[in-house]
């Protein structure tokens, strides 16, 4: 278990570009960067409200056909994962939130953008809303560096104003390029980080592999693989799901799945999205109510999360996500918030024995589900733009009991 001696936990994060063990022609150089889990002060906000606001804003934005949507900003995300990204020449480092539900990369929140000799002001404006945050400002083209990996002429938003991004410098958008539509003036869409890696021949397939180790593990490391995936981190075959045809989930990394608790189906086949910048697993209200009843949980007013007793935890059943005919199972331990980090979610009792569930109500007029990082840290995930699909496999941490 990780000691929570501060509200910031720094994890090592390994970025692997390519792998020689696959038939896909890939680069083989490796870049190491750091991943930081940023936790705001206890009680500042509510994870459920923040995640729900984000889901509703993403849903609205996709429906109107552009990523900027008017939204009431009432919640600040309490947690996010950042990578240190070098920008410009001479290079300056910025801590950017890794976001698979955004195509835009931008900076200027906690740290201002420094103009260097590689900076080009396009004269365009840029604006994006995330539900739990937003920004607006100017567009620049500049060089992005991840140690030995370099991307030239990358579109970067430079914020004049922003909300909801305290503790980070901006966002590294690794979602589909369609998510940039309407965000930059005088422009239809702008190339994403992944688009430019492909066009500049740093990778030969637009594929991103994501490996997250649960933050409650002592050795909390992770791996991003650009251009492929790392099979040595998997303990099963890969199951691929095509991008859903259902609107508006199809505009994101959207898939179809069903959810079963024990032997009872709580969500029939529904379309939703996979999102690294969402914390929880959000599901449709009917499914949430069925899960709440089946577990015997009560809604905790302070945290907004479902809370269970130790006895109820001992009786928790598997929560099974069926994707393309394959069952991906969250064990009872995987269904709970890391108990050593209860203060992060607003539990001021100081009792690490309190048990909260990481499944929450998504609310109305949104997706059937959003699978956030609490799902992704239990499975290897592959975001495959080239073949329009998302892949999943089990890992050594699928059945971890560290929570």
Higher pLDDT, 400 or 71: 400
| Peptide bond between residue 39 and the one before it cis (omega within 30 degrees of 0) | no
Higher pLDDT, 58 or 78: 58
Examine residue 226 and state whether it is found in any structural domain, yes or no.
no
Please check whether residues 253 and 199 belong to one and the same domain: no
Please identify, among 159, 176, 209, the residue that sits at the C-terminal boundary of a domain: 209
How is residue 200 written in tokens?
């500049």
The mean pLDDT value for 109-132 works out to 92
Is the per-residue pLDDT at 165 higher than 90? Answer: no
Is the per-residue pLDDT at 240 higher than 70? Answer: yes
pLDDT single digits (tens) 178-209? 999 999 999 999 999 999 999 998 888 999 98
Examine residue 167 and state whether it is found in any structural domain, yes or no.
yes
Examine residue 354 and state whether it is found in any structural domain, yes or no.
yes
Please check whether residues 70 and 188 belong to one and the same domain: yes
The mean pLDDT value for 132-158 works out to 90
The boundaries of the domain holding residue 273 are 234-394
Please check whether residues 102 and 180 belong to one and the same domain: yes
Q: What is the pTM of this model?
A: 0.87
Is the per-residue pLDDT at 61 higher than 60? Answer: yes
Is the per-residue pLDDT at 210 higher than 70? Answer: yes
The per-residue DSSP string of 325-386 comes to TEEEEE-TGGGB--GGGGGGGT-TT--TT-EEBSEEE--SSS-SEEE-HHHHTTEEEEEETT
* Exposure on the CB side of residue 184, measured as CA atoms within 13 A: 26
Which residues are marked as active site? 99, 275
Mean pLDDT of the chain: 84
How is residue 346 written in tokens?
């607003």
CB 244 within 8 A of CB 256: yes
Is the per-residue pLDDT at 250 higher than 90? Answer: yes
Examine residue 215 and state whether it is found in any structural domain, yes or no.
no
Q: What is the pLDDT of residue 120?
A: 98
How many domains does one find in the chain?
2
Examine residue 224 and state whether it is found in any structural domain, yes or no.
no
Please check whether residues 88 and 192 belong to one and the same domain: yes
Is the per-residue pLDDT at 1 higher than 50? Answer: no
Is the per-residue pLDDT at 133 higher than 90? Answer: no
Please check whether residues 187 and 247 belong to one and the same domain: no
Question: What element of type H or E holds 273?
Answer: strand 264-274
User: What CATH number did the domain enclosing 62 receive?
Assistant: 2.40.70.10
pLDDT-derived band at 163 (thresholds 50, 70, 90) equals confident
Kindly report the number of other CB atoms within 10 A of residue 151's CB atom: 22
Q: What is the pLDDT of residue 81?
A: 67
The mean pLDDT value for 324-330 works out to 98
Please check whether residues 292 and 184 belong to one and the same domain: no
Task: Say if residue 388 is exposed, middle or buried (CB neighbours under 10 Å; 0-12, 13-18, 19+).
Answer: exposed
Of the candidates 70, 82, 100, the one whose C-alpha atom is nearest the C-alpha of residue 39 is 82
């Amino acid at each position: 278990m990780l000691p929570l001696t501060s509200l910031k936990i720094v994890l090592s994060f390994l970025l692997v570009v390519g792998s020689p063990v696959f038939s896909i022609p890939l680069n083989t150089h490796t870049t190491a960067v750091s991943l930081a889990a940023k936790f705001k002060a206890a009680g500042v906000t509510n994870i459920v409200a923040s995640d729900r606001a984000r889901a509703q804003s993403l849903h609205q934005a996709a429906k109107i056909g552009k990523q900027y949507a008017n939204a009431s900003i009432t919640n600040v995300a309490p947690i996010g994962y950042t990578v240190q990204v070098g920008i410009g020449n001479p290079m300056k480092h910025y801590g950017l939130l890794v976001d698979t539900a955004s195509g835009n990369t931008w900076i200027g929140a906690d740290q201002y953008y420094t103009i260097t000799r590689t900076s080009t002001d396009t004269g365009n404006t840029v604006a994006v809303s995330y539900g739990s945050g937003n920004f607006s400002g100017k567009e620049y083209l500049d060089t992005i560096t991840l140690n030995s990996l370099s991307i030239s002429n990358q579109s970067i938003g430079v914020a004049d104003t922003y909300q909801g991004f305290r503790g980070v410098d901006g966002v590294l958008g690794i979602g589909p390029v369609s998510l940039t539509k309407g965000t930059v003036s005088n422009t239809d869409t702008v190339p994403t980080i992944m688009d430019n890696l492909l066009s500049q021949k740093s990778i030969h397939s637009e594929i991103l592999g994501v490996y997250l180790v649960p933050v409650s593990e002592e050795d909390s490391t992770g791996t991003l693989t650009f251009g492929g995936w790392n099979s040595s981190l998997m303990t099963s075959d890969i199951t691929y799901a095509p991008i859903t045809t259902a609107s508006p989930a199809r505009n994101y990394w959207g898939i179809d799945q069903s959810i079963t608790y024990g032997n009872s189906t709580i969500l029939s086949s529904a379309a939703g999205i996979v999102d690294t910048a969402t914390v929880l697993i959000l599901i449709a209200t009917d499914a949430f109510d069925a899960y709440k009843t089946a577990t015997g949980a009560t809604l905790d007013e302070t945290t907004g999360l479902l809370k269970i007793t130790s006895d109820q935890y001992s009786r928790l059943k598997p929560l099974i996500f069926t994707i393309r005919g394959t069952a991906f199972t969250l064990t009872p331990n995987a269904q709970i918030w890391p108990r050593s980090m209860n203060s992060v979610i607003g539990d001021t009792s100081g009792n690490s024995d309190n048990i909260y569930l990481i499944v929450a109500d998504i609310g109305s007029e949104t997706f059937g589900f959003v699978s956030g990082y609490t799902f992704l840290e239990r499975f290897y995930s592959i975001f495959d733009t080239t073949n329009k699909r998302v892949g999943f496999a089990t890992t050594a941490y699928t059945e971890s009991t560290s929570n």
